[in-house]
A and B are shown apart, each in its own frame.
Chain A
Amino acid sequence: MADTSTIRNRKGPVTYVMRFGVIGYLAILVVWPLYEVTARTFAPLERGAEGGFGAFLERLQDPSVTYAFQLTATCAFWAVLINTVFGVGISLLLVRYQFPGRRILSVLVDLPMSVSPVVVGLALVLAYSSGQGWFGEALESAGIFIIGTTPGLIMATAFVSLPLVVREIVPVLEEIGIDAELAASSLGANGWQTFRRITLPSIKWAVVYGVVLSMARSLGEFGAVKIVSPGAEFRGETATILIQNRYTNYEEPTAYAAAFVLVLASVLALVVVSLIRKPEDHK
């Protein structure tokens, strides 16, 4: 990527002011706080007490913490699964098929990313809560409860991460065009065979990429689940809600420990994402 242009490579005092300005800005805003959070995660509870990795693990083994992480994992799993199936399907429909309202739908699919998580939670409550929701009563009489239960949490999680898979697949589908697919069907492949043997291999990496992004987003969702969840210990308390509750209840070490796990998960996602991007870019 080295620029060969002499004009661009000329360095002056402004270059160095900007370079160190940017390094300083990012250090103060991101790197130092991140270091501090790590330090606190492994700090001893009080003077003289045991710190380090052991204490960190101990805090995580509290049953309410394991419950929270299990709940978060469950929600993330289902949300990602649903989003993947939906994402692949809707991407194919949007790029390959002609139907009225196609353009509007393609804009709407992007909407959940821009809606405030609190509004997402509120929207689900107003539609499905058995007390005040539009469909609350009907669902209640059918014995279905969404708000305050795990399905509600899954819906909230699925809502906020909905466009991530679509966003990855659509550009790839547009770029590869339909020539190979037309060739396959002219060779006698049916719709499913064409999809499985021609289309799927070429969007494979986009799907994986989208899944990783959705997973990261789902694990860390807070606002939307906060509204639809009862949010009490062992009752709908996800990892993120747990962090809030513990921090406000002056159980900071546990909050930091749980937060650190989520930090690790997001850094892992970042690494995976950049690893996936690379082979794809080299094509």
Chain B
Amino acid sequence: MSIEVSGINKKYGDFVALEDINVSLPTGQLTALLGPSGGGKSTLLRIIAGLDTADSGSVEIEGVNATKLPPQKRNVGFVFQHYAVFKHMTVAKNVAFGLEIRKRPKAEVKAKVAELLELVHLSQFAHRLPSQLSGGQRRRLALARALAVEPSVLLLDEPFGALDAKVRKELRDWLRRLHDEVHVTTVFVTHDQEEAMEVADEIVVINNGRIEQIGTPDQLYDEPANDFVMGFLGDVTRLGNVRLRPHDIELALSPAVTPGTPPAFAGVIERTLRLGFELRLTVDVEGQGETTQVVLSRTHARALDLGVGTKVWLRPATGAISVPVLGVASA
């Protein structure tokens, strides 16, 4: 195991930031800490880096108990949410900083800096000041600087935040490829489920200072441990007494009962919304307090000739994942 976190508790005054956190992250894995803002995931990342200290519990990095180690001695690379670049140093000097601190020979520093700038595609900007770079470039600079010291773990705080959609997307693909190339144990914090699902090998869902679930993206999506995880990782709607994904609902124009299938719920289409290739329907189900969302492909919808006012019958599709409405406490 590369990172072993056990029994971490952290309070700020009366506010409980983290409560009994236990995670182990295997070497070389790309992990996402996912959860809503203020849920404690950044605090956990900072505790791993030694930038914050936990009230109790321990952190082990590469088999060494790091709980009491200052950040200088942990050999972690940390990429800050707002870059934290050294404004008065050139791009190359920024990257060289950690190596110079470690008193590496000049030639080695030079070679390593060149290699890293190549890796993050900033070679031609080596002699610029950070103020002359764009947001995405600064982020890559911060990443190169953190990687320069060959950290045993790389920690990234909201690495895709505060960038425009296109740059986010590029950076995301690029981080995935970079990780495949460098293969350093990486943990990143995000509040965006799509990002986590797309980039991470494993996701740790954190909410209100507690871990809700740990698993691969598929596990979390297909086998959510509770209402919160299900709701956080995709759209959820209600049908009868269960919550399920809108695309897991079968729609028919007649109540025809096939043996072995659950009974259908009758309802009337209240609203339709076309989004690219799919059609979202809002259905007013008889005897149900709230409406139900249904997603189908446009071709399917056209075949059924659906419109506002059409009477339809809904039932959960075979193999649909659902959680009971009144079971687990809702988020």
Contacts and interface: CB of A to CB of B under 8 A. Distances in A.
Interface string B41-76: 000000000011100000000000000000100000
A7 to B, nearest CB: 6
B165 to A, nearest CB: 30
Nearest to A7: B51
B81 to A, nearest CB: 14
A6 B12 CA distance: 13
Contacts, number: 7
Chain B at the A interface: mostly helix, strand, loop or mixed? Answer: loop
Contacts of A5: 51
Interface string A221-257: 0000000000000000000000000000000000000
Contacts of A6: 51-53
Interface in A1-24: 4-7
Contacts of A7: 51, 71
Interface string B106-136: 0000000000000000000000000000000
B199 to A, nearest CB: 28
A34 B51 CA distance: 44
Nearest to B71: A7
Q: Choose among A4, A5, A7 the residue with the greatest number of B CB atoms under 10 Å from its CB.
A: A7
Interface string B1-25: 0000000000010000000000000
A5 B52 CA distance: 7
Nearest to B12: A4
A88 to B, nearest CB: 36
A131 to B, nearest CB: 56
A5 to B, nearest CB: 8
B11 to A, nearest CB: 13
Nearest to B46: A6
A4 B52 CA distance: 9
Nearest to B53: A6
A36 B163 CA distance: 60
A219 B12 CA distance: 50
B44 to A, nearest CB: 14
Contacts of A4: 12
A4 B43 CA distance: 12
Interface of A: 4-7
7 contacts: A4-B12, A5-B51, A6-B51, A6-B52, A6-B53, A7-B51, A7-B71
